[in-house]
Amino acid sequence: MKLLRRIVTFFFPPVSQWAILPRLLHWMTFLWLFIGLAVLFSASYVEGETMGDGFYYVKRQLAWIFIGLLGFNYVIHAPLKRILNVSHWFFLILIGLLFLIFVPGMGIKVNGAMRWLNLRIIAIQPSELIKPFLVLQSAKIFGRWHQISPGNRILWILIFILMLGGILLQPNLSMTALCGMSIWLVALAAAIPYLYLVPAALLGVGTAALSAMLRPYQMKRLMLYRNPWQDASGHGYQLVQSLIAIGSGGIWGKGFGLSQQKLFYLPIQYTDFIFAIFAEEFGFVGCLLLLLMLMVYATLALLVAFNARNPVFRLVAIGAMILMVGQSLLNIGVATGALPTTGLPFPLMSYGGNSMMTSLIIAGLLIRVARESSEAEIVPFQERKQERFV
């Protein structure tokens, strides 16, 4: 009984002593997670039936959630300074793993892209796992920009470029763009001079344009996303089916579990295009409520950033918000045809172990900043003692 109580307390810690902001973010994270599981169950059940178990994807997702919650709970309880002190090592190791993918026998090619690293026991996606450490490292560098020597500034800019280059070579233009925009927006929030920001933005846009010109399928997606019916059975097929799903939802939706497009019309409906299934089943009203949830989450994250006195902590909160809310909006933009078709998952909703783990850790970082920035929070003596010696 004591062991069971400890396990439950670890995964669902008592938050009554927390201040209001971290408490709200904590429960909103679990609300988001619950909605994601419910939608995943509906979107993946038919596909799972082809494997003999309609719960196939949900069971696997629950296993990854369990692992992700281990990292989530560690982050919300560990002093942020301690995490920041070691973040650069994990960041550099994951950059190394990005390039290890290209070693013969180490990378796994899926749909023409080399994004997975074969570790024999398990396959991981370094470009996903690096995102929490990208938030931490960019916040640490730009939050202390004026305290860092010019040589170290150039070194870390080159390291960021190296990371983005490794992701782009896979190729993974959408993830490269997301990480690049995250770094740029964190730098903007840190009030880095425009002398650095403007050339960086131009370089990013130019690199994306060059990548599209060198890879015809990327250019095709860019040209077709405004009118996918020009090639409705080819490159525009996925977006056309997504738009059909969203339009079929109407005002109130068809009802939970009653999507038609998930019946093998819409490809990868439980990963990158899971929002289309949500829209079909819950309609315009459901989509508005989902956007409202994202808006509330973003507002709470900004309040956390405003309350943070430490500039590095403030940038961690902003970076976490960008990757949680910004990536969600990008996913919605792709599913609705407002943006070119890309392969970005919906945080805490799309199927995928690497994405689920990183999303939970990023959400945990935001909660940790909220806890340390809330003056009204009652911090246990032992934790206060640990923080003092970090």
pLDDT, position 384: 46
Two tokens at 351?
A: 């199927």
pTM for the whole structure? 0.92
- The reported pLDDT for the residue numbered 342 is 81
How many alpha carbons fall within 13 Å on the CB side of residue 183? 25
Full 3-state SS string of the chain: CHHHHHHHHHHCCCCCCCCHHHHHHHHHHHHHHHHHHHHHHHHHHHHHHCCCCCCHHHHHHHHHHHHHHHHHHHHHHCCHHHHHHHHHHHHHHHHHHHHHCCCCCCEEEECCEEEEEECCCCEECHHHHCHHHHHHHHHHHHHCHHHCCHHHHHHHHHHHHHHHHHHHCCCCHHHHHHHHHHHHHHHHHCCCCHHHHHHHHHHHHHHHHHHHHHCHHHHHHHHHCCCHHHHCCCCCHHHHHHHHHHHHCCCCCCCCCCCCCCCCCCCCCCCCCHHHHHHHHHHHHHHHHHHHHHHHHHHHHHHHHHHCCCHHHHHHHHHHHHHHHHHHHHHHHHHCCCCCCCCCCCCCCCCCHHHHHHHHHHHHHHHHHHHHHCCCCCCCHHHHHHHHCC
Given a contact cutoff of 8 angstroms between Cβ atoms, the answer to whether 358 and 128 are in contact is yes
78, two tokens: 């560990």
| Low pLDDT (below 50) residues in the chain | 376, 378, 380-381, 383-390
